Structure 1
Amino acid sequence: MNNKTIREIAVAWKEYKRPYVKQSTMAAYLLILENHLLPAFGENDSLPEQSVQSFVLEKIECGLSVKSIKDILIVLKMVMKFGVKNEWMNYYEWDIKYPTNTENKKLEVLSVSNHRKILNHIQSHFTFTGLGIYISLSTGLRIGEICALKWNDINITEGTITVRRTIERIYLVEGEKKHTELVISSPKTKNSCREIPMSKELLAIVKPLKKIVNDDFYVLTNDEHPTEPRTYRNYYNGLMEKLSIPRLKYHGLRHSFATRCIEAGCDYKTVSVLLGHSNISTTLNLYVHPNMEQKKRCITKMFKSLGK
């Protein structure tokens, strides 16, 4: 076996992997390699469990979330498997332990009154930029999907919005050169390409606009050039401050939409499809946390069915 270092294997792996993944995915992989994996393992020619476990504990010490660390290890495993396949290194099985975190991170969502407050404000102070926030709160669209939305994605006859693309600024690493680039591409996964019905209120707002706008223009700018997520996030933060609403990430609008759907008793599969999740377990893990009242109702229902 002709052993190579992780750095050498990573160079070959990048070229092998590039044709098969989206540009934004590749950019994320390269960033993980540059910032985390090569500084820690670049000169190693093997990846025993002990080294990887130490790396994990070190990253936790630095404040990285378990989710971020697992994403980093996915890339490390891909590089290792590629090295093994080419007989450049030995395969190692890892059983990584993570410190148990008993605290369940609470999902950040708007209160019902603040949810309503934002919708009412945008309705009475209409702007194209504001419309994006209204759409996110009414459909659960992600910020990149909102920024990439065009008027021709809105069908007033059917009363639907179709999600076809997303926009993001990606970080490109090319040898010594590092720069960012704005990229418009297909959404996150194939399930993210989806059709969402509009509420009566949203339809009433966009119907008259559709008669006068250029179908090829972006909704947020009403122009041929889109706005990028970073800029739109700043606008959103400013609006929240103006309305005296507690700080909430833009993604919290999506969480708020999903939470309202669950609270209203919508079935989980439908909520999952509306959000464009690749499987229902993502939806269940994120949004379905029955409270004591719901648990009691469930038990009562079950005993009723037994004729008790």
Structure 2
Amino acid sequence: MPSRKDNKGRVLRPRECQRKDGLYMYQYNDMYGKRRVIYATDLLKLREREKEVLRNLEDNIDSYLGEKMTLNAAYERYMSGKINLKHSTKVNYNYMYDLVIRDTLGKRKVNKICFSELKAFYSSFLASGRFKMRSIEIIHTLLHPTFDMLVRDGIIRKNPSDGIIAELKKSIEWERKSRHALTIEQQTAFMKYVRDSPIFYHWFPIFVFFLGTGCRVGEVTGLCWGDVDFEERILTIQRTLIYRPEEDRTSTFHVSKPKTKAGIRQIPMVDEVYRILREEYEYQKTEGFSKQTIDGQSGFVFRNRYGTVLNPASINRAIQRICNYYNEAETEAAQAENRKPLILPKFSCHVLRHTFCTRYCEVESNIKVIQDIMGHADISTTMDIYAEVTNSKKQESLLKRQDNILIL
């Protein structure tokens, strides 16, 4: 039987053929026994694809599905399997995916996405200043497990996102910025300015609470009067208030449990926290308690002038305004008094939590107690702060006593 040849006289292998329009075809059965066809405009290109197909079949890789499935479809497949994912987390994931990936990389076929393309995709956001490295890491937490799923399902051979974050950080000499607590002088200046300010004094109670309990912002805004035991002087932290985007792109408040069991805890009230809560309670007895109900929960302690709960963004904006006003006034006063000004850094309400932990570490050596008060699920988090504090204290102690140590 004569061999089949193409229009250039080259012998075609079994299952290869050339159409009348010159396009080359190769037919094969996929891993499920279904007939598939690949095409190429050149015989050499077709045979390169043949090699890839045969290699994938040998390794149980479903190359046909990889050529048809978009990243968007893969992501939906991945998310459908996350049955234990909290609704708020799922909404946040989908929001970020839709914002950054869906209309760009999401339309690409999964087996065509390579390491260099992903790296360029991430790098473009860093170069434009649209996102910082932390946001890129969040995007990566969506893509990396999606590609991992495709590898496990035999749709692609390897995960193109492996090692990409480490390489990006290395290429830009990136280093995560650590949060620094306010110094005692900064903390004192900040609180004194708020307390004495005719504009910002109404924020004083909540800042006392932050600095006297070390609570997270959602735990502070979600605190209810039923959590406050004035008789035993104990606070029960058992929920967090979150302000999350919904699927229709609106944002609403929701009550949620702490992310870990360690977040559910009791905190003794120090004198100043007890005092400001008692004063706030007596004030609300006269003026009226908050009537807002969120997911069946009511009686929120901290509220705005409209009687509704505080948004974390509002608290952070207030801190920024206070620091700006303070720094301007302090700079003028320092110039008039011919001294160096005590400038407050930019910080968020989470730094107030970090400041509480730092002050506590300065006077308490029992790491387990500090961990329990802070609600840290991992003691290494507590240890990192404790180590930073004790290193600073060691240096301070040594310098104070250097004349008594080194005697020449």
Q: TM-score range by the shorter chain?
A: 0.7 to 0.9
Residue of structure 2 equivalent to 1:306: none
Alpha carbons of structure 1 residues 278 and 256: separation in structure 2 relative to 1, 3 Å? same
Of 263, 274, 287 in structure 1, the residue corresponding to residue 362 of structure 2 is 263
**Is 1:95 aligned to 2:163, yes or no?**
yes
Alpha carbons of structure 1 residues 73 and 103: separation in structure 2 relative to 1, 3 Å? closer
SS at structure 1 position matched to 2:246: strand
The one-letter code matched in structure 1 to 2:211 is L
SS at structure 2 position matched to 1:149: coil
SS at structure 2 position matched to 1:288: helix
Cα deviation for residue 242 of structure 1 reads 5.1
- Higher RCO (C-alpha under 8 Å, 6+ residues apart): 1
Cα deviation for residue 95 of structure 1 reads 2.4
Kept after mapping to 2: 8 A contact 1:128/1:220 = no
Q: Matches of 1:190 and 1:72 in 2, distance apart?
A: 27
TM-score w.r.t. length of structure 1: 0.78
CA RMSD of aligned residues (A): 3.4
Residue of structure 1 equivalent to 2:16: none
**Is 1:158 aligned to 2:232, yes or no?**
yes
Q: Matches of 1:102 and 1:89 in 2, distance apart?
A: 31
Cα deviation for residue 9 of structure 1 reads 1.4
**Is 1:58 aligned to 2:141, yes or no?**
no
Residue of structure 2 equivalent to 1:233: 316
- Mean Cα deviation higher: 285-294 or 117-126: 117-126
Residue of structure 2 equivalent to 1:301: none
Alpha carbons of structure 1 residues 293 and 202: separation in structure 2 relative to 1, 3 Å? closer
The one-letter code matched in structure 2 to 1:69 is I
Kept after mapping to 2: 8 A contact 1:129/1:221 = no
Alpha carbons of structure 1 residues 243 and 158: separation in structure 2 relative to 1, 3 Å? farther
Q: Matches of 1:221 and 1:27 in 2, distance apart?
A: 26
Kept after mapping to 1: 8 A contact 2:364/2:370 = no
Q: Matches of 1:183 and 1:102 in 2, distance apart?
A: 35
Which structure 1 segments of 5+ residues have no match? 299-308
Residue of structure 2 equivalent to 1:288: 387
Residue of structure 1 equivalent to 2:347: 248
Residue of structure 1 equivalent to 2:179: 107
Alpha carbons of structure 1 residues 272 and 26: separation in structure 2 relative to 1, 3 Å? same
The one-letter code matched in structure 2 to 1:5 is T
Could you tell me the percent identity over the aligned residues? 21
SS at structure 1 position matched to 2:235: strand
**Is 1:197 aligned to 2:268, yes or no?**
yes
Cα deviation for residue 43 of structure 1 reads 1.2
SS at structure 1 position matched to 2:356: helix
Residue of structure 1 equivalent to 2:90: 26
**Is 1:171 aligned to 2:171, yes or no?**
no
Q: Matches of 1:111 and 1:42 in 2, distance apart?
A: 50
The one-letter code matched in structure 2 to 1:105 is K
Give CA-to-partner distance per residue, 1:236-268, whole Å, 9 cap, x none.
444445555724222221121122122334433
- Mean Cα deviation higher: 65-74 or 248-257: 65-74
Give CA-to-partner distance per residue, 1:25-60, whole Å, 9 cap, x none.
112211231233332343131354333333343343
The one-letter code matched in structure 1 to 2:274 is L
SS at structure 2 position matched to 1:169: strand
SS at structure 2 position matched to 1:92: coil
Residue of structure 1 equivalent to 2:373: 274
Kept after mapping to 2: 8 A contact 1:84/1:90 = yes
SS at structure 1 position matched to 2:258: coil
Q: Matches of 1:283 and 1:141 in 2, distance apart?
A: 14
Q: Matches of 1:102 and 1:224 in 2, distance apart?
A: 43
SS at structure 1 position matched to 2:249: strand
Q: Matches of 1:50 and 1:282 in 2, distance apart?
A: 34
SS at structure 2 position matched to 1:202: helix
SS at structure 2 position matched to 1:178: coil
Alpha carbons of structure 1 residues 43 and 278: separation in structure 2 relative to 1, 3 Å? same
TM-score w.r.t. length of structure 2: 0.61
Q: Matches of 2:176 and 2:119 in 1, distance apart?
A: 23
Cα deviation for residue 115 of structure 1 reads 1.9
